[in-house]
Amino acid sequence: MVPVGKIDALIEAGWRVLESDFDEDAFQQWRMRAYECLKALLGPHHTYTEQFQYNMRHPATITLLSGVGVLAAVSLGGLHGDFPDIGAQAANPDGTEPLRSAPAEADVCRLN
């Protein structure tokens, strides 16, 4: 199950970065935490994880807004039960099994 409260906290943290007149250091910290959370929850090859990573290449207001949008989609999907197999990562694109050594979501879906 998606920890909706933790995703929502990351969304709020994204808004705080925006309200800080876009502090680039705060953006980088938020980006890393949000990406690690998505990767732990959905796997590195999930569409949302890959879209977040792609969009976050350059620190800018528009990329932050895009990242918040991805997190909002994950949060809404979690509320509606769209991710029944959270934690069960799909095979890598080359067909090999994914590494199972990723930290538990409780360890990475946090703000500090």
Q: What is the mean pLDDT of the chain?
A: 79
**pLDDT value of residue 76:** 84
Indicate the number of domains in the chain: 1
pLDDT tens for 26-67 read: 999 999 999 999 998 888 999 999 999 999 999 999 999 999
State yes or no: pLDDT of 82 exceeds 70: no
State the burial class of residue 39 (Cβ atoms within 10 Å of its Cβ: 0-12, 13-18, 19+): buried
State yes or no: pLDDT of 101 exceeds 70: no
Which residues form the domain of 18? 4-108
Contact assessment for residue 99 and residue 38, using Cβ atoms and an 8 Å cutoff = no
- DSSP SS3 for 100: coil
Higher local confidence (pLDDT), 107 or 54: 54
The rounded distance, in Å, linking the Cα atoms of 12 and 82 is 22
* Averaged pLDDT, 2-19: 88
**pLDDT value of residue 67:** 95
**Token digits of residue 39:** 């990767």
* Averaged pLDDT, 73-92: 62
**pLDDT value of residue 92:** 54
* Averaged pLDDT, 65-94: 70
